[in-house]
Structure 1
């Protein structure tokens, strides 16, 4: 499970960093395309975080059922 956490953490970090960078470019250049990209990457980062949470919860549920 530790490897999965690291993989999701790196994916989340890259997406969050991309979103922040795109937002900074939008603020500096005032190009609406970068705001759309920032929102899209933020949504993907949030989806990665929710996917991690879901796998953690259901992984523990299955672990309890199997070892009970």
Structure 2
């Protein structure tokens, strides 16, 4: 559940997320950056809702997956 945000070695929340945009083209990178930002925001919102009321959410919430 929300393993994207947890460091597997420490079991603590990560301070930053890093994803390769898999391009060297600056124009394509800007588009992909915006897409990744939107996916990250959706994931953060799902995490916020879960942490606010864990009993109101399924045990394994459906959250967007970051590419990369």
Gap regions ≥5 residues in structure 2: 1-24
User: What is the root-mean-square deviation of aligned Cα atoms in Å?
Assistant: 1.7
Bigger helix share = 1
The DSSP-based 3-state class of the residue aligned with 1:32 is coil
Per the alignment, residue 56 of structure 1 pairs with: none
1:17 aligns with 2:50: no
1:8 pairs with 2:32: yes
Per-residue deviation, 1:7: 0.7
Aligned length: 42
Q: What does residue 64 of structure 1 align with?
A: none
TM-score, structure 2 normalization: 0.52
User: In the alignment, what sits opposite 1:32?
Assistant: 58
Larger relative contact order (Cα-Cα within 8 Å, sequence gap ≥ 6): 2
Normalization by structure 1: what TM-score? 0.52
